[in-house]
Every structure is written in C-alpha cells, then in structure tokens.
A and B are shown apart, each in its own frame.
Chain A
Amino acid sequence: MTSHAYNFGFLDEYAKKEVRRAILKAIAIPGYQVPYASREMPMGRGFGTGGLQLTLALIGPDEIVKVIDQGSDDSVNAVNLRQFIEMTCPGVSTTTCTAECTLLQTRHRIPELPLTAEQIIVLQVPYPDPLVVVESSENKRKTMHGEADYSRLLVKLYEDIVKYDEITISHRYPTRINGHYVIDPSPIPRWDVAKLNNSAALLLFGAGREKKIYAVPPHTRAEPLVFSDVPFRVEDFRDEAGQRRVCARCGCANSFLDEFVGDAGNKTYQCSDSDWCDEQLQRAEQVQGVAA
C-alpha cells in the first residue's frame, strides 16, 4: 500500500474555505456560535481539533506559529499539535516566543503578554455554549441566545451567592460580547477573562466536536456576567498572611501561578505561562548582570 501525501495544512482546500467563511461570519456577529462541518482530525476530539482547524485554515507559508497548552509550549498536547502543524505545513516556522508569533493556538490560557493587532489567537473550546449549564437542549439554547435571554444564568450566579456567598464558577466564565451574545470563553481561568476585553488581537474560538466557531473581534467589549454589587473576582494568589505569592522560578508577582506539591507536602508556585517566565528570568538576570 502506498503512502498518501497530504495537502498543505492537512485539510483539503474546500474544507479550509468553509472554515474561513465561518470565521468571517463569526467576526461579523461577535460572540455568535457559527455552526460548521467540523472535519475529523488525526487527533482526538477534545484535544484541540476545533482550534487546529482554525489554525490550518488561516495558516500561510510566512506564518510564525506558537502553540501552548496550560500556558506551556512544552506541554505534551502543545508539542503534539506543533509537530503536526510543522509536518503538514512545510515552510511555516514555529516559535515559543509570544511577541514573535503571528498565530497563536492555545488551550486553557491567554498569554500574560498583551497581544498586538498583528496577531491572531485561536482558543480550543470543549463546550462552546455557556447556557449548557442551565439548558441541555441546543435547540432551546439557540432561541435563548437569539433573545439575549440569559436570565437563567444570572439565577445560577444568584443561587451560588445565596448558597456559598461566592460565585462558584472557576473557569469558562460566561462573558457578554459587544452587549449581546454571552460566550463560553473556553476553559481559561478567570484571570484571563479581562484579556478578552478590547483586545488588540483577534480572538477566535473553535469547538471541533461541537462543530462551532465564534469570535471576539479586536477592540470589542467583553464583560464577565456579574451583578452591580458583586464584583468579578479573579483567582486569589495570596498566602495565609495575605502576601501575594511569587513565581519560584522568575520571581514574578503578577502572573497566573501553577501550584506544585512536593514529596514532603510543601507547596511551590510557578508561572503557568512558560514564555513569560523565561522572559522575566532573562530580564532579572540582565538586571543582576548590570548591577554586578
């Protein structure tokens, strides 16, 4: 049996065109989930096939691509996706440097470094619909979105406050785009939600298994769903004494931290964004060098 050569970007050109049309519609209607005929990719549904189809439909030969998972370029899934892109898109270069990339595919994080108008960020999405927590029928949810009827979501938030005195949604925080559609911003922590608002870069969301594409266009309002008297709160990285924890590696005190439990039960914290951590470390070393 002969081996079969694959097209540039794996997908056939018709499939890419279809994805691009869906992207254009998604940009035109900020936050609206555009259905598309998601193709099967040679990695598991749930491993970023939606994001990957966006990336492969957008990628050109001059592209500089960065892939992260949990903020890390070297996470197993990020490595896997990057290798696949390198294999199927000859000529495309890849980088781990956030500032350098033109196209960034990510799962669960938005980089700490603000992105620019020259960059596109593609987020991998497991559940595209924020209403799924209150309504299981997609047909009914579609009507609710059309009518901007998010009352049941607000009731859920209210019930949380009554029961726990806190909104318990940790990640995938429902976020209203351009004053109408509420999106599931993918499983990014609450820490990253503010980065959606008025972003210079185009944010694209791809849900492969659920066959939906949606977008937060540049310079568009993105507001987490809250009450006027209950502020939106991001993850709290203060220790018992109320001190902000710092990264054990680079010393950064304003990044999202991963928690590590040592064999002795001791805890250490490190930047989740590995490129950010490297940058801070380099900067600190330069400062030290100058001081010496």
Chain B
Amino acid sequence: MAYVAIKGGRAAIDGAAEAVEFMRAGSTGKEAPLQLDAIEQQLRLLVSRVISEGGLYHPRLASLAIKQFQGDTLEAAFALRAYRSTKPRLLETPPQDTSRMRCIRRISSAFKDIPGGQMLGPTYDYALRLMRLELADETPEHFRAISRRFLAATPEAQLPATFPKVLDALRAEGLLPPVAESREAAFDITREALTFPVPRSAALATLARAETGSLLGIAYSNMRGYGDIHPTVAELRVGYLPVMLPHPVTGETMEAGEVLITECEVVAMYEGNAADGPPTFTLGYGACLGHNETKAISMAILDRALQKGMKDGAANPSEDPEFVLLHVDGVDSMGFCSHYKMPHYVTFQSDMDRLRTTQKKSKERV
C-alpha cells in the first residue's frame, strides 16, 4: 500500500532559506548590496520605527535587520527584540528630563506662539505629496550637494540648545494638575508579565514599543467617535535626549550618550480633581525611540483614553487596558498571525472528527 513520506522537513527549510536569500540578492545578479550607512541615513524613519518597536536603541543593528529582512518592519523589529533578550539588564535608568532635549523640531498646536518659538524642523506635514520624478535619476553629485548647501546656509548657534516645555506654562496658570511625584519604581515590561490591573508605567512602556499601525488603528477609533478624548497637542518635540546614568563607582549621574526620541503631550477635556481642587485639563503622554510622530501622538491619545478607562471603567475598546495593551505588540501579534501557516493537521483531524460525528447525528435525527 502507498504511504506518505515522513521525512523531508530539513531539506525544505534549507531550500526556503536559499530561495529567500536569492530574493534578497535580486534576480538580475547585477545589484549592489545595500550599505548599512545608506539605510541608517536615507531610510531614517524606517530605522526609527524598527528601534522603537524593537525596544532597543541600536540604529546600526536596526539597519542590519532592515537589510536582512528585506524591509519588513515587523520582522526587523522582531530580530532586534530577540537580540535584546539575550542581554542581561545591567541597571535601572532613572527618569530622564526631556526638557534637556536637543530639539530638531518642536511645535504646539495649542498656542499660536510658545516660549522658545514654534520650530517646524524636518517634517513633511506641509509638503505637497507630489511625486518628485527627478529623484528617480538622482546623481551622486547632486545628492551630496544637498547637505553642503543646507549646512552652508545655516549659521552656527542660531538656535538655543534647549527649549522650555509648553506644559510648564499651562501648569503655572493652574490649567493642569500639579505633577504627582511618583515614588514607585517603574514597571519593567521586559522582566515582569502584565497582570491586570497594571500601573500606568507598565501601560506607557507597552505603548512605547508597540507596533505603529496597531497603535494608530486603536487611537483612530477613539478620535473618530469610539471615545471622546478630543486631544490638543500641547507639545510635540523630536530631538536628541542626553541619557543620564549613575556612574558605576560614584553613583553620580552622568551623561552616557544620547538617543533620538519623539515626545508628545496632549491636553484633553477637563475633569474635577479628586482632592476637591478646581477642575483642570487632563493629560496624555506619548514617547518613543526614534522619529515617529504618528506613534507618539497615537500613544498620547491612548494613554489619556486608558487613564480615563482605569478611572471610570472602559466605555469603548480604546479605554480598555486589556484590549489595548495585549493587542498592540507587533512581535506578539505578527508571530501569532504567522503561526497559522504552520502545520495544524492533527487539530484539524480532530475538528473533522467532531464535524463528521455531528453531521452523522443530524442526518440520523431527520
């Protein structure tokens, strides 16, 4: 009697690896390999996305992951995460002061002008999305001249090193609640599983490394009407934040380096204060590694929505901590989606057994 071969898995996997490597090299056999520098500089927003979703500030490794996984952000972030999980946690970072950020961009939509001034910086916000066909055949000479021209036209020390925070002004006016001094250590989502209810620090950490599209999707549901946060962007800033760490010997905090981050603070509808004080606006906070404004704004809206949900009970999906926090991680959701491609024939055999039995019974009843 004929039977089906039970070997062949290893050869199939090896073949698949060769096929995907062939796709990476391109079918013409004439392509030049992507250089990591080019990815890091010219695909900087892609790198930003990967470092933030990967939860590891390593633009170089992120560029490698983008190259290796042929531009798939989910896979690249995943590789970075898996690399990160082999590294021990050496210390806990103290809270970092984002007013010390060297901004490349900062805006507020709440005021026409803000202390320090609105600074558009590098943004496509007001660019016309017309295809620039001349870039299709850009020459290296023309390309290199761009930065030379830009730097020559920008006088040194034209801008202050740091900018005041817009929220400070609102706070000084009593429009915002005073900063609550939290003495609790921040929840480390890489060392503890989320068990609900979770502290806000756990929610923020989960949102900070969430997948951009997932965050945007759930935040958008709140913006559209499945929620009523109605945010105003008090401040959105992008820049290099000095990372202050305790010196291993003296314990004194010192600058260990800097990271590019995007930070967004939204102000939302006011509510009464628990401590009988006058009502104030409420706040939502978003921050992520790299330059990713859509993510930071979505996160700020969801932070506000979740705080509301934790206080008053969730009135819609974006206010439900379990719904939001357990479904926004790219590595988790993409992995589970992909797993459906694996063999499931034992469970399907079991499914068929149940269906056949119930079909038989339903025929017998007729």
Please give the residue numbers on chain A whose beta carbons come within 8 Å of chain B beta carbons, in ascending order: 1, 4, 6-7, 10-15, 18, 35-42, 44-47, 49, 69-72, 74-80, 83, 108-109, 126, 137-139, 142, 164-166, 168-172, 187-191, 209, 211-212, 235-236, 248-249, 256-260, 262, 268, 270, 272, 274, 277
> Is A139 a contact of B350 with CB atoms below 8 Å?
no
Q: Which of A35, A49, A188, A256 contacts B335 (CB 8 A)?
A: A49
Interface centre among B8, B61, B82, B343 (most CB of A within 10 A): B343
Q: Which of A38, A83, A108 contacts B346 (CB 8 A)?
A: A108
Q: Which of A212, A235, A268 contacts B350 (CB 8 A)?
A: A235
Closest-by-CB residue of A relative to B337 is: A46
> Is B349 a contact of A209 with CB atoms below 8 Å?
no
Q: How far is the CB of B342 from chain A (nearest CB, A)?
A: 5
Contact with A along B134-151 (1 / 0, CB 8 A): 000000000000000000
Chain A residues whose CB sits within 8 angstroms of the CB of B351 once the complex forms = 170-171
Please give the residue numbers on chain B whose beta carbons come within 8 Å of chain A beta carbons, in ascending order: 1-4, 6-10, 12-13, 36, 60-61, 64, 78-79, 81-89, 189-197, 322, 326, 331-332, 334-340, 342-347, 349-354, 357-358, 361-362, 365
> Is B193 a contact of A35 with CB atoms below 8 Å?
yes
> Is A76 a contact of B6 with CB atoms below 8 Å?
no
Given contacts A15-B85, A74-B6, A189-B347, A46 and B339 within 8 Å (CB-CB) = yes
Q: Which of A6, A126, A258 contacts B86 (CB 8 A)?
A: A6
> Whole-angstrom distance between the alpha carbons of A109 and B194 in the complex?
29
Q: How far is the CB of B11 from chain A (nearest CB, A)?
A: 9
Chain A residues whose CB sits within 8 angstroms of the CB of B332 once the complex forms = 45, 209
User: What are 19 residue pairs bridging A and B, where the CB atoms are less than 8 Å apart in the complex?
Assistant: A4-B83, A18-B191, A39-B85, A46-B336, A70-B346, A126-B336, A142-B195, A164-B362, A165-B358, A165-B361, A171-B346, A187-B346, A188-B346, A189-B349, A248-B2, A249-B6, A256-B349, A258-B349, A268-B1
Chain A residues whose CB sits within 8 angstroms of the CB of B339 once the complex forms = 44-47, 126
Q: Which of A44, A71, A138 contacts B334 (CB 8 A)?
A: A44
Given contacts A6-B86, A211-B193, A236 and B362 within 8 Å (CB-CB) = no
> Whole-angstrom distance between the alpha carbons of A103 and B286 in the complex?
45
> Is B1 a contact of A139 with CB atoms below 8 Å?
no
> Whole-angstrom distance between the alpha carbons of A201 and B33 in the complex?
52
Q: How far is the CB of A87 from chain B (nearest CB, A)?
A: 13
Of all A-B residue pairs in the complex, the 6 with the closest CB atoms, nearest first, are A45-B335, A46-B339, A35-B193, A39-B85, A44-B335, A170-B350
> Is A268 a contact of B82 with CB atoms below 8 Å?
no
Chain A residues whose CB sits within 8 angstroms of the CB of B347 once the complex forms = 108, 170-172, 187, 189
Chain B residues whose CB sits within 8 angstroms of the CB of A40 once the complex forms = 78, 81-82, 84-85, 331
Given contacts A70-B345, A257-B349, A47 and B194 within 8 Å (CB-CB) = no
> Is A137 a contact of B346 with CB atoms below 8 Å?
no
Closest-by-CB residue of A relative to B12 is: A76
> Is B338 a contact of A46 with CB atoms below 8 Å?
yes
Q: How far is the CB of A108 from chain B (nearest CB, A)?
A: 5
> Is B85 a contact of A41 with CB atoms below 8 Å?
yes
> Is B346 a contact of A258 with CB atoms below 8 Å?
yes
> Whole-angstrom distance between the alpha carbons of A77 and B340 in the complex?
12
Q: How far is the CB of B32 from chain A (nearest CB, A)?
A: 19
Q: How far is the CB of A73 from chain B (nearest CB, A)?
A: 8
6 extra interface residue pairs, beta carbon distance < 8 Å, beyond A168-B358, A172-B347: A35-B195, A138-B196, A139-B322, A248-B1, A256-B346, A270-B4
